[in-house]
Amino acid sequence: MKYFKQMGGFVLVFAAAGATAQSTDMTAPPNASAVVAKVNGEALTASQVSASLRQAGLPDNETTRNARVSELIAAEVVRQAAEKADYGTRPEVQQAVAQARARAETELYLREHARPAAISDAQVKARYDEIVASLGDKEYKPRIIVVGDLATAKMISSRLKQGGDFAQLAKEFSLLNRGTGGEMEWVSFKMPLKEGQTQGVPLAVAQALVALPTGGVSQSPIPVASRYVLLKLDAMRPTQIPAYDVAKAQLRQQLEAAESQKAISTAVEVLLRQAKIER
């Protein structure tokens, strides 16, 4: 499925395809209260192992569980040594404990007091329609080099005209997406191009991109705010739009996340109004 994504400062629509679900090949964990190891008499339970795997984002199977048990045993050995040496009374430890408690209290308070509105099916469908309406009939796969001064941009442009490799120059000089050789995700524009309707891509960059042939490179640097952009069009194809039934789950998650953030902001604003703040 394709989905919304922000990449390298450009907001792109339906940007990546075909994410495969993570394997769910799992070995059933033992009883949560079962003791899987003891370290100097201190019990390590199956539930602690499971929680540690979840926190690390690891699959729960025999291999990962055994590895995690070994890691937790090592961590417990060190913890006991630190406890025996009275490290728990050190100021830096007490400060870390206070900070962890404050974070936990804050997260729990907001979870229980920030009440996001429910997202309806109609809202999800309206968002889908809005996105589809913002797309053109073609989508483009750009590669970019972004630099902070005109002299560097002109030097790179000269090297490109002499046959320089765009991806290699992006890795060497670009301020954005250097690690991928300037590669960007697919992006589509509704025509004619208008300011504020180019999926977050600066209008001048979008105008240059749609004018390029496949494999073409911009002839001169494009000024954008205080930076300069060089473009290459890697590929072009008809815009690929997922069916609503395919996209709706992803869209709902995004709308719910936005609504949750809105509810948190509202809860904080109420507390700020009630608080006596002195600076």
Q: Could you tell me the fold of the domain covering 138-238?
A: Chitinase A; domain 3 (3.10.50)
What pLDDT score was predicted for residue 13? 29
Share of the chain above pLDDT 90, in %: 84
Give the residue, 2 or 222, on which the prediction is more confident.
222
In the DSSP assignment, the letter for residue 213 is P
User: d(Cα 219, Cα 226) in Å, to the nearest integer?
Assistant: 19
What pLDDT score was predicted for residue 33? 79
* Residues 11-21, mean pLDDT to the nearest whole number: 32
Give pLDDT tens digits for 17-41: 233 333 333 344 557 779 999 999 9
- Residue 10 phi/psi, 5° resolution? -100, 130
What pLDDT score was predicted for residue 231? 97
CB 79 within 8 A of CB 40: no
What pLDDT score was predicted for residue 110? 94
* Residues 76-87, mean pLDDT to the nearest whole number: 94
pTM over 0.85: no
Query: Is residue 9's pLDDT more than 70?
Result: no
Would you list the domain boundaries of the chain? Answer: 116-135+242-279, 138-238
What pLDDT score was predicted for residue 6? 35
Angle, vertex CA 169, rays to CA 168 and CA 170, nearest 5 = 90
Amino acid at 158: S
* Residues 159-181, mean pLDDT to the nearest whole number: 95
What pLDDT score was predicted for residue 31? 74
Query: Is residue 269's pLDDT more than 90?
Result: yes
Query: Token pair 């450009």 is at which residue?
Result: 10
In the DSSP assignment, the letter for residue 88 is G
User: d(Cα 16, Cα 237) in Å, to the nearest integer?
Assistant: 14
* Residues 235-254, mean pLDDT to the nearest whole number: 95
Give pLDDT tens digits for 97-143: 999 999 999 999 999 999 999 999 999 999 999 999 999 999 999 99
Nearest to 217 by CA among 268, 171, 153, 132: 153
Nearest to 119 by CA among 270, 273, 248: 248
* Residues 258-263, mean pLDDT to the nearest whole number: 96
Query: Is residue 271's pLDDT more than 50?
Result: yes
What pLDDT score was predicted for residue 30? 58
Query: Is residue 2's pLDDT more than 80?
Result: no
Supply the mean pLDDT for the chain.
88
